[in-house]
Amino acid sequence: MRDEIRNQKAELRRAALARRDAMTTEARIEASLAVADHVAASVDVTPGMAVSGFLPIRSEIDIRPLMMMLADRGARLCVPAIVEGKLVFRQLVRGAPLEPQGFGTYAPGPDAAILDPELMLVPLAAFDRSGGRVGYGRGYYDGAIASLREKGVDPRLVGIAFAVQEVGEVPMEPHDIFMDSVVTEAGVAAQAADASGRAAP
């Protein structure tokens, strides 16, 4: 059963990323700016709040404009870094050097402060209308979110994607975590049924 679900996810991932790759550069730029406006209008950020974002890889949506908007409201930005096979969130400060993390990603170095995000802007490969998420297949975000919750931190989870990455239904495994919402250039495209972002039953 587990192998069957993983195969289904792999196919959903492949097809959704192919659709994303087929977008023109101009379409990706316009959609990224639209997502920034939608998210900025729908989230409350208080000064000092830790917000995790991500730096785009390949054809991924570029949320750097959104991150700058939230920083202007006083958010402390952080991005994921891979440390001993797990994600931690290192504070992103303007002008600080970035180091390669593998998989084409970059993050601040080990001297950067580690933050526990209260709001997480989460990349994804595919999503459905209930907030189900297909990641890139390594489980980094699910593990990081579970670790935060073990520490008593319960971040709001906002998946970020292009509209073409939507699928009919994501098969969820016990360790998979629903997004509270998913935002695309068209607006809020998905909402968790109980808006809790809890792990799938």
Domain annotation for the chain: domains and CATH numbers? 2-191 (3.40.50.10420)
Determine contact, residues 161/39, Cβ cutoff 8 Å: no
The answer to whether the annotation marks 136 as part of a ligand binding site is yes
- Provide the pLDDT for residue 44: 93
The answer to whether the annotation marks 106 as part of a ligand binding site is no
- Provide the pLDDT for residue 193: 65
- Provide the pLDDT for residue 201: 36
* Closest of 83, 84, 148, 162 to residue 120, by C-alpha: 148
The answer to whether the annotation marks 28 as part of a ligand binding site is no
Determine contact, residues 161/12, Cβ cutoff 8 Å: no
b/e map of 19-55 (b: 16 or more CB within 10 Å)?
Answer: bbeebeeeebeebbebbbebbeeebebeeebbbbbbb
The answer to whether the annotation marks 74 as part of a ligand binding site is no
The answer to whether the annotation marks 92 as part of a ligand binding site is no
- Provide the pLDDT for residue 137: 86
- Provide the pLDDT for residue 200: 43
Q: What is the largest CA-CA distance in the chain?
A: 48
- Provide the pLDDT for residue 105: 83
The answer to whether the annotation marks 133 as part of a ligand binding site is yes
The answer to whether the annotation marks 135 as part of a ligand binding site is yes
The answer to whether the annotation marks 141 as part of a ligand binding site is yes
Q: How far is CA 155 from CA 6, 107, 122, 147, in A?
A: 26, 20, 11, 11
The answer to whether the annotation marks 11 as part of a ligand binding site is yes
Which residues of the chain, if any, have pLDDT below 70? 193-201
Determine contact, residues 165/126, Cβ cutoff 8 Å: yes
